Structure 1
Amino acid sequence: QHWPLLAPLLANPALRPDPAQIAACRAGFLELLRIRRSTPLFRLRTAEQVRRAVRFFNTGPDQIAGLIVMQLHDPAATQDMLGQVVVLFNATPAPIQFCDPAFGGAELWLHPVQQASADARLRMAAFSQADGCFGVPGRTTAVFVGASRPV
């Protein structure tokens, strides 16, 4: 039903990705697969597990447009396990800083796969434990992980 809109875009040579863009897209996708494989909270199996584990921040009338903040939490995780994951989806072209006192004092770090990302911009994503603030570059999905801690 959308073919009349898409056909001219697909035919436009200016919109055709070059080999470097294709390789970067492939590398980013493979990084996401490695994150999923290495992070059990991304492999919840039932709706009930999802209801218990997932919480969203940046909601309500004061929310930052273009930003989704999702937390996955496993209170049963042992000390050496990653019991908390916070994912920030920044759909805007500009960097965003998101602060929530609920994350103040939390021990979170950029997922190790993303710390070694081929995308230098992604490696700039950061978390400040002191004030619970995340910094996420534009058009970036950043995954932060840490020990289990109720928020």
Structure 2
Amino acid sequence: TMTTNGMGRGLPLAGDNRDNWQFMRDRLADPLLHPSPEQIEFTAQVFQEFLSIRRDAPLLRLRSANDIEERLHFHDTGPDGTPGVIVMELRDRSPLEPLDADIDAMMIVFNATGRRVSIVVPDAIGRTFVVHEVQAGGVDAEWLRGAFVATANGRVSVPAFSTVVFVEPGAR
């Protein structure tokens, strides 16, 4: 119905959570924390866009552990990594067997922070990444308009609370 989504039902297993149940109950009962029908609809549309990207991108459907080990790389990791941010890259470039003639790589940035983040990814220097066409024309396009990967210095910049899919168009 897109008017409700079940927010506020149930608590996590007791385990380490029992001591926090009352705190959680109070929050879950707060109507100001429940999403509006507009927010539910928007979220459903964004989710459909992600499913569309996944359906059309062989790099997001790797079939073997070997493929994952060869193609998946994480940037900005370790103790110096940016808290709340994950930068992953899926490569489809030589010498790997190509999976997608149109895309050499995908870089996906998950920003769970409440601020815009800019991170330098040295492996992105000299390469051209653009926001995936589904997101660039999607319901979140205005919010994602400022997302970019700078070819000159590898700086990746994404807005707060976003997941941005960048693609490096195929050179084959």
Q: TM-score, normalised by structure 1?
A: 0.88
Matched with 2:112 is 91
CA distance in structure 1 between the aligned counterparts of 2:121 and 2:68, rounded to whole angstroms: 22
**Larger relative contact order (Cα-Cα within 8 Å, sequence gap ≥ 6):** 1
Matched with 2:86 is 68
| Aligned length, in residue pairs | 149
CA distance in structure 2 between the aligned counterparts of 1:146 and 1:77, rounded to whole angstroms: 14
**CA distances 1:104-146 after superposition (whole Å, capped 9, x unpaired):** 1102111001111211212321121111111100010111111
CA distance in structure 1 between the aligned counterparts of 2:165 and 2:48, rounded to whole angstroms: 14
Q: Which amino acid aligns with 1:108?
A: F
Secondary structure class of the residue paired with 1:106? coil
Query: Where do 5+ consecutive residues of structure 1 fail to align?
Result: none
Query: Where do 5+ consecutive residues of structure 2 fail to align?
Result: 1-12
Secondary structure class of the residue paired with 1:134? strand
Tell me which moved more, 66-75 or 5-14: 5-14
Q: Which amino acid aligns with 2:72?
A: V
CA apart distance, 1:68: 0.7
Q: Which amino acid aligns with 1:52?
A: E
Root-mean-square deviation (CA, aligned residues, Å) is: 2.0
> Where do residues 120-139 of structure 1 align in structure 2 (5 Å cutoff)?
120-139=142-161
Whether 2:131 is the aligned partner of 1:110: answer yes
Matched with 1:100 is 121
Tell me which moved more, 85-94 or 124-133: 124-133
Q: Which amino acid aligns with 2:150?
A: S
Instruction: Say which one has the larger Rg.
Output: 2
Q: Which amino acid aligns with 1:97?
A: S
Matched with 1:21 is 39
Q: Does the aligned pair in 2 maintain the 1:77–1:148 contact within 8 Å?
A: no
**CA distances 1:20-54 after superposition (whole Å, capped 9, x unpaired):** 11111111101100110121100111222111110
Tell me which moved more, 104-113 or 114-123: 114-123
Q: TM-score, normalised by structure 2?
A: 0.78
Matched with 2:73 is 55
Q: Percent identity?
A: 35
